[in-house]
Amino acid sequence: MDTIEKECCAQLPGESCKAYDAAKMYFQMKAQRSLQRVAQRQKKSIGLMKRWSGRYRWMARASAYDGWCERQELAMLEEEIRQAARERAEAIVHRPDRMSGYGYFRR
C-alpha cells in the first residue's frame, strides 16, 4: 500500500468504524458515488452522511482514491504492454518465420 492509498483509505483519527465503513462504501462507488446511496445502503440518514462526509473529508479522500485506482490500472496496462513486447521479442529470436505478419523481414 503506497502513501496516497494509506492517506485516502485509512481510517482517520476519531472516525468511528461505522463512519469509516460508510466512507469506504462511498469511495468504492466511483462514478455512482452519492451520499444518498450510501445512506440508503447503510440504513442511515442523509443528514448523518453529510456530517460524516464533511467531518472526514470524503470528497477529497474519494478523489485521492480515484487517482490511486487510475495509477494502479495504468501500471497494470503498462505491464501487459511490456509482457506483449517481451513475447514478440521472443518470437523474433526463436521463430523469425512467424513474424512476417507483423511487417518484419519483408523486402
d(CA 17, CA 102): 55
Enumerate the domain spans of the chain: 3-102
d(CA 45, CA 4): 30
pLDDT digit string (tens) for 42-87? 999 999 999 999 999 999 999 999 998 899 899 999 999 999 999 8
Q: Which three cell numbers stand for residue 101?
A: 505478419
* CB proximity list for 82: less than 8 A, separation 6 or greater: none
| Angle formed by the axes of helices 35-42 and 17-28, nearest 10° | 130
**pTM reported for the whole predicted model:** 0.67
* C-beta separation of 102 from 92 below 8 A: no
pLDDT attached to residue 7: 65
